[in-house]
Structure 1
Amino acid sequence: MLLDSRQSEALLAVLDSGSFEQAAASLHLTPSAVSQRVSAMEAAIGAPLVVRSRPCRATGPGQRLLQYLRRSRLLEQEFFAELEEDGGRPLSVALAVNNDTLATWLLPELAPFLIRERLLLDITLDDQDHTYSLLELGQAIACISSQPLPMRGCVVEPLGFMRYSLLGTPDYRERYFSAGFEREAARKAPVVVFDRKDMLQANFIQQVLGLPPGSYPSLYIPAAEAFLNAVRLGLGSGMLPSQQYGSDLETGKLTDLAPGRYLDVHLYWHSWRVQSPRLEKLSAEAIAAARRVLSQDGADGADQELA
């Protein structure tokens, strides 16, 4: 069967916006018209595609169709862009990446390529353990994830790993760990956590000291730069990658609270096996950039290791 373009457009708008009302506004239609188009598509396919909740979300068949529609739209946009005499309009690519990747190496490394190829990134941020699900849900056409196994129809390439150490200011260390990184002292020491999905600090403290999550005070700072600043201000300790804290250890601004202990988070590039030409170029560029910046020794191992 051939998919109806207006029905496909309505389905994408509903799942992107999360509601029939917002989809209607973006398409300059009434909510009733959008609902009719989505219902007609469901009838033609013979399966429900949208869970009519708040926000609306895709069913299983809807997720698979969404994946197809996003790739189809990208190929169509790229085709028409190449027909334009001025070299083509900018092409938007939906990526799902983790916060620390975006805060450190991704844009500086890719900027010249993105400008040259006239690519616009539509980035969704999530924890590296959860970006994979955004690709699975059809909300992205490529992702950077800690998941080493490819999804069906996709390919995966190892990028390297980011090494995280538990850092704090010298004053913080003196206040809480003057006698060393010890279990009872850690019960009183505040820890900076990115958000409720961020398990780096919890995993590290549990593996090193045997303290379960909730055994110590935590503050939540869900922004990469503010997270780093909170640690630098002495508000708490935090797991930071070397790409982010830079020379802070050498200058004495921060100190390693558990020398010789760290977590390696391995990252992988996931994309569809069948890609548009420019997405193929983006994949190759992102993989090469990551391998220039990230640590590579043992990068094919488990996604998290405690040394």
Structure 2
Amino acid sequence: MLSFQTEQLRTFLSVLECGTFDAAARQLHVTASAVSQRIKAMEQTAGQILLQRTTPTTATAAGVVVHRLARQLRQLEADAAADLGLEGASHNTLAVVVNADSLGTWFMEALALLPAAHHLTVELVREDEQHSLDLLRSGGVMAAVTAAADPIQGCSVVPLGAMNYRPCASAAFMDRWFPRGFSAEDFTAAPTVQFDRSDTLQSNFFTAVTGAPLVGAQHYIPDTLQFAQAVAMGLGWGLLPESQCRPGVSSGQLVELVPGHVSSIPLFWQRWKIQSTSLDLLTTAVTRAAATALA
């Protein structure tokens, strides 16, 4: 049976977080030789190399598994100390990956629902909902808002609802590019606002309308609020979350390219499958906020 000592796992985490064996030694108040011996002992136990001796130090494929174990152990220790009311118990930060649109529209409401008495702290990592699982799989985060319905190994999954988007542009933009009303023919010439080069929302909508790939002029605005502002200012058309575009559509500042069309992205909450009070509280807050904000 594979068995690592708690001291070894803490050292392993320190090396990855500090970036080098020497820096980890300073953090742990031991010699660099002691750090090296602990890692070598872990690699002998595992029967394979766990860390790449690069600068900064990185985990191998096997090391990713150990990294996740070490992070989970630290979280369990922090929860136990808090539950026991130990003086000076560390407030271990909950690392969560969230897509930009959720972060910019509803996720902060979830953090506001966290009970103040538990003094929970979070570290938010912004990543596209299609690519967040790599961070969860590696142990870099403890939970994720993701588009993946199937739980990865060692995690549980809860459906949150769907983020609905509507294709919009400013009224002035529509007058300029679609003087005869919206048409697939004119659509090919109209500039687009994209979030970044991994964003597929606009491309998928364009192909659904025209049957061709999106190849026209494109602006890249990797910020949810600035993306919406770029659309409102007439830089291009783009798909906006319903909660974000509803006021503009109601006032006439924004116009829907295809009235009534909705592009839905189902979202899911994946988290480590461990008995953690902190993760349970965060999960409850996230699902409550999502139930109010998502379709």
Task: Work out whether the TM-score is over 0.5.
Answer: yes
TM superposition shift of 1:178 = 2.4
TM superposition shift of 1:48 = 1.6
Residue-by-residue CA offset, 1:47-89 (whole Å, 9 max, x unaligned)? 1223445664432221221121111111111222334467965
Alignment of 1:105-254 (within 5 A): 105-213=106-214, 215-254=215-254
- Cα RMSD between the aligned structures? 2.5
The one-letter amino acid paired with 2:145 is I
Equivalent residue number for residue 303 of structure 1: none
Cα 1:169–1:17 shift into 2, 3 Å: farther
TM superposition shift of 1:35 = 4.9
Whole-Å separation in 2 of the counterparts to 1:235 and 1:26: 49
Whole-Å separation in 1 of the counterparts to 2:89 and 2:23: 29
TM superposition shift of 1:34 = 4.8
Whole-Å separation in 1 of the counterparts to 2:113 and 2:272: 24
Whole-Å separation in 1 of the counterparts to 2:115 and 2:201: 31
Equivalent residue number for residue 13 of structure 2: 12
TM superposition shift of 1:148 = 0.6
Mark the runs of 5 or more structure 1 residues left unpaired by the alignment. 296-307
TM superposition shift of 1:116 = 3.8
The one-letter amino acid paired with 1:260 is G
Does the Cα contact within 8 Å between 1:192 and 1:220 map onto a contact in 2? yes
The one-letter amino acid paired with 1:227 is F
The answer to whether the aligner puts 1:260 opposite 2:260 as a matched pair is yes
Counterpart secondary structure, 1:261: coil
Does the Cα contact within 8 Å between 1:168 and 1:232 map onto a contact in 2? yes
Q: After superposing the two structures, state which structure 1 stretch, 50-59 or 143-152, moved more.
A: 50-59
Does the Cα contact within 8 Å between 1:186 and 1:216 map onto a contact in 2? no
Cα 1:12–1:2 shift into 2, 3 Å: same
Q: After superposing the two structures, state which structure 1 stretch, 112-121 or 50-59, moved more.
A: 50-59
Counterpart secondary structure, 1:207: helix
Cα 1:259–1:51 shift into 2, 3 Å: farther
Counterpart secondary structure, 1:247: helix
Equivalent residue number for residue 79 of structure 2: 78
Counterpart secondary structure, 2:235: coil
Does the Cα contact within 8 Å between 2:3 and 2:45 map onto a contact in 1? no
Q: After superposing the two structures, state which structure 1 stretch, 35-44 or 234-243, moved more.
A: 35-44
Counterpart secondary structure, 1:119: coil
Using the size of structure 1 for normalisation, the TM-score is 0.85
Q: After superposing the two structures, state which structure 1 stretch, 142-151 or 102-111, moved more.
A: 102-111
Mark the runs of 5 or more structure 2 residues left unpaired by the alignment. none
Whole-Å separation in 2 of the counterparts to 1:22 and 1:176: 58
Equivalent residue number for residue 305 of structure 1: none
TM superposition shift of 1:17 = 5.3
Counterpart secondary structure, 2:113: helix
Does the Cα contact within 8 Å between 1:81 and 1:91 map onto a contact in 2? no
Does the Cα contact within 8 Å between 1:170 and 1:254 map onto a contact in 2? yes
Alignment of 1:285-304 (within 5 A): 285-295=285-295
Equivalent residue number for residue 69 of structure 1: 70
TM superposition shift of 1:98 = 0.6
Q: After superposing the two structures, state which structure 1 stretch, 185-194 or 95-104, moved more.
A: 185-194
Cα 1:252–1:65 shift into 2, 3 Å: same
Whole-Å separation in 2 of the counterparts to 1:21 and 1:3: 21
Does the Cα contact within 8 Å between 2:136 and 2:143 map onto a contact in 1? yes
Does the Cα contact within 8 Å between 1:182 and 1:209 map onto a contact in 2? no
Whole-Å separation in 2 of the counterparts to 1:49 and 1:242: 45
The one-letter amino acid paired with 2:270 is H
TM superposition shift of 1:138 = 1.0
Equivalent residue number for residue 50 of structure 2: 49
Using the size of structure 2 for normalisation, the TM-score is 0.88
Residue-by-residue CA offset, 1:138-175 (whole Å, 9 max, x unaligned)? 11111110001111222111110011111110001111
Amino-acid identity (%)? 36
Q: After superposing the two structures, state which structure 1 stretch, 247-256 or 30-39, moved more.
A: 30-39
Q: After superposing the two structures, state which structure 1 stretch, 192-201 or 280-289, moved more.
A: 280-289
Cα 1:22–1:190 shift into 2, 3 Å: farther
TM superposition shift of 1:222 = 1.0
Does the Cα contact within 8 Å between 1:166 and 1:258 map onto a contact in 2? yes
Counterpart secondary structure, 2:226: helix
Equivalent residue number for residue 99 of structure 1: 100
The one-letter amino acid paired with 1:291 is A
Whole-Å separation in 1 of the counterparts to 2:236 and 2:33: 52
TM superposition shift of 1:105 = 0.8
Counterpart secondary structure, 1:113: coil
Residue-by-residue CA offset, 1:159-203 (whole Å, 9 max, x unaligned)? 100111111100011111223333342332221111121111111
